[in-house]
Amino acid sequence: MLHEVVDPADPVQVAWLCDLFRRGEADLYAQDEADLALLPTLTSTWMLRGRQLKVAAPGTNQKGSVSAACDLADGTTLWVNGPKRSAPQFVATMHQCVLRSLPRARIAVLLVDNAASHRVGKTGWVRDLLDFHAGRLVLVFQPPYSPELQPVEKLWRQWRPNVTHNHTCAGMDELWAKSTAWLRKMAARPAAVRVAIGFSDDCSLIKLAA
């Protein structure tokens, strides 16, 4: 039986999913979003005497969002930039995962949180994509307020000090370029991504979400 949404508290559904992983018929991706802002996140930092870091405060703050998905088995990282967290951005990320898994003859399984933009309704962006990719895409929703179960949160912990903390970018184009350059550097080193996200066994990770 195929499922489009797996409840991690349902042992039958989890067993079905774990069986797919054992047979090599599914890829498990962890997906999450992070925010960019022209107004830098100020944090404590070491500076040489007489060379104080100066961070400009923009007159008008601008924001953006990055949605990333990491294959927990090999560290492959995909991402989609957008003006804000939204269902279209989430759908675009899922679509990338399906397009990667399809030639591998595998189902794309995404471990996601319960953000409003991720919800599956009778209509809407997420519903349409699930219908379009029926049998090729499965969502596993984590319990509410459980960021500790989301491996990509650990990737953001490295992304933020390298991109958003105390940045001196003059505009969003420069900040977007900085974010994309860092993600490309990480994506080119999948083994480093696996270390960053604290790689776990597929089935044990699903069971932890229960």
What topology does CATH give the domain 5-38+62-208?
Answer: Nucleotidyltransferase; domain 5 (3.30.420)
Task: Please enumerate in sequence order all residues whose Cβ is within 8 A of that of 110, keeping only pairs 6 or more positions apart, or say none.
Answer: 29, 30, 31, 69, 94, 97, 137, 138, 139, 140
- The pLDDT of residue 209 is 40
Residue type, 198: G
CA nearest 64: which of 96, 31, 34, 94?
A: 34
What pLDDT does residue 43 have? 72
Question: Can you tell me the distance from the alpha carbon of 57 to that of 176, in angstroms, rounded to the nearest whole number?
Answer: 17
Contact yes or no for 95/179 (Cβ under 8 A): no
Residue 66 has pLDDT above 60, yes or no: yes
Domain ranges of the chain: 5-38+62-208
- The two beta strands, 5-6 and 26-37, are unpaired
pLDDT at 87: 97
With cut-offs at 50, 70 and 90, classify the pLDDT of residue 204: low
What's the pLDDT score for residue 207?
46
Q: What's the chain's average pLDDT?
A: 89
- Please report which confidence band the pLDDT of residue 133 belongs to, taking 50, 70 and 90 as the band edges: very high
From residue 187, alpha-carbon distances to 36, 39, 65, 109 in Å are: 19, 26, 18, 19
